[in-house]
Amino acid sequence: MIATRDAYGETLAELGAENANIVVLDADLSGSTKTGVFAKKFPERFFNMGIAEANMVGTAAGLASVGKVPFLSTFAIFAAGRAWEQIRQAVAYPKANVKVVATHGGVTVGEDGGSHQSVEDIAIMRAIPNMTVIVPADGEETKGAIRAAAAYKGPVYVRLGRNKVASVFPAGHKFVIGKGNLLVEGTDLTFVTTGLMTAQAVIAAERLKAEGISARVVHIGTIKPLDKEILQQAAEETGAIITAEEHSVVGGLGGAVAEFLSEECPTLLKRVGIYDRFGTSGKSEELLKYFGLNAETLVEEAREIVSRKK
């Protein structure tokens, strides 16, 4: 089990050795975001911008315009939130080749509390045209995602977490932007999940099997552009969808799936996540339980949605 931010730090340093044009920016959080790993190896290509996120984003846009491939990092609430308009104007609008890799997304930020726990970042990044939005499930997927982001020409937002997370993908897993992953076959309902909720969905599916409920698990690593094919198949073949994310039920994965299903194939839907409220201080594991972001909740919701199908 590794933390997605550690996988990021490691991969970024590897990429730095492979591509001399990669530069990295941070806002006084390089120890936490792990951009510090790159900074140690390539100090002349690392720019600490201090506690000034808006300037950091604009600076990255300028670096991209002279041919660099900038990766910039800070906590999700500050990257997507504070610098939202700068990402919109300086990165997305000109289609600048800037990669915003935000760590500490969601409530597992823990003790720092609600001010630091972003429950909105997927929603507000998704709303921007030209943005690609990626939320990996585990360390291996993160390595692939960071490489894919580096190879892709254009704006990318990657959302990582704070803690070690259970493995979902095997070592060397190749990440394809825009392609979801069918992890568990099933026929009664589909868990459509992202981030750390994917591992929970796999556990929930296993438990449901014992009750005679066949749950499919589809991991959505790219929230935008959404893999409509895999979703349509799941909707048509299982007739009930439960989305789950470490994020508000407003506008994130749940919102994206609801938008698609309503228009293309109306299906029974339940969005699991943070129910339009802010986070709070506590230990990470405690908070996940407190907010019901676990396999237990998914099992309950599965029973409920299946009963609605009859």
Partner 1 sequence: MKEKIAELEEKARRLRVAIVKTLHKSQSGHTGGSLSAIDMICALYFHKMRHNPAEPAWDGRDRFVLSKGHAAPALYVTLASAGYFPAEDLMMLRRLGSHLQGHPDSKVTPGVDVCTGSLGQGLSMANGMALGLKLDGKPNRVYAVLGDGELQEGQVWEAAMAAAHYKSDNLCALIDANRLQIDGFVEKVMNVGSIAGKFRAFGWHVIEIDGHDMAAIVGALDAAEAHKGQPTAIVAATVKGKGVSLFENKAAYHGVTPSDLELPEALKCLGCFD
**The binder of partner 1 chosen from 59, 142, 181, 190 (CB under 8 A):** 59
Q: Which is nearer to partner 1, 47 or 75 (CB)?
A: 47
Residue 44 in the binding site for partner 1 (CB under 8 A): yes
Q: Which helix (H) or strand (E) holds 156?
A: strand 156-159
Which one from 10, 53, 246, 301 is the annotated catalytic residue? 53
Alpha-carbon distance 195 to 206, whole Å? 19
Residue 16 in the binding site for partner 1 (CB under 8 A): no
Distances 299 to 12, 37, 80, 104, 244 between C-alpha atoms, Å: 37, 39, 32, 26, 12
Q: Which is nearer to partner 1, 73 or 222 (CB)?
A: 73
Residue 61 in the binding site for partner 1 (CB under 8 A): yes
**The binder of partner 1 chosen from 23, 80, 128, 244 (CB under 8 A):** 23
Residues 105 and 121 sit within 8 Å (Cβ to Cβ): yes
Radius of gyration over alpha carbons of the chain, in Å? 19
Residue 64 in the binding site for partner 1 (CB under 8 A): yes
Cβ-proximal residues to 126 (8 Å cutoff; 6+ apart), any chain: 133, 223, 224, 251, 252, 255, 256
The CB-of-187 to partner 1 minimum distance in angstroms stands at: 47
Residue 49 in the binding site for partner 1 (CB under 8 A): yes
**The binder of partner 1 chosen from 6, 28, 81, 95 (CB under 8 A):** 95
Q: DSSP of 242-289, one letter per residue? A: EEEEEEESSSSHHHHHHHHHHHH---EEEEEEE-S----SS-HHHHHH
Residue 172 in the binding site for partner 1 (CB under 8 A): no
Residue 220 in the binding site for partner 1 (CB under 8 A): no
Q: Which is nearer to partner 1, 56 or 234 (CB)?
A: 56
Q: Could you give the 3-state DSSP secondary structure of residue 193?
A: strand
Phi–psi pair at 184, nearest 5 degrees: -135, 130
Residue 82: count other Cβ atoms within 10 Å of its Cβ. 18
Per the annotation, the verdict on 53 as an active-site residue is yes
The stretch among 47-55, 165-173, 179-187, 220-228 that binds partner 1 (CB under 8 A) is 47-55
Residue 129 in the binding site for partner 1 (CB under 8 A): no
What is the total count of residues that contact partner 1 (CB under 8 A)? 30
Residue 87 in the binding site for partner 1 (CB under 8 A): no
**Hey, which residues does 46 pair with through a beta bridge?**
24
Binding site for partner 1 (CB under 8 A): 23, 44-45, 47, 49-50, 52, 54-55, 57-68, 70, 85-86, 89-90, 93-96
Just list the catalytic residues.
Answer: 53
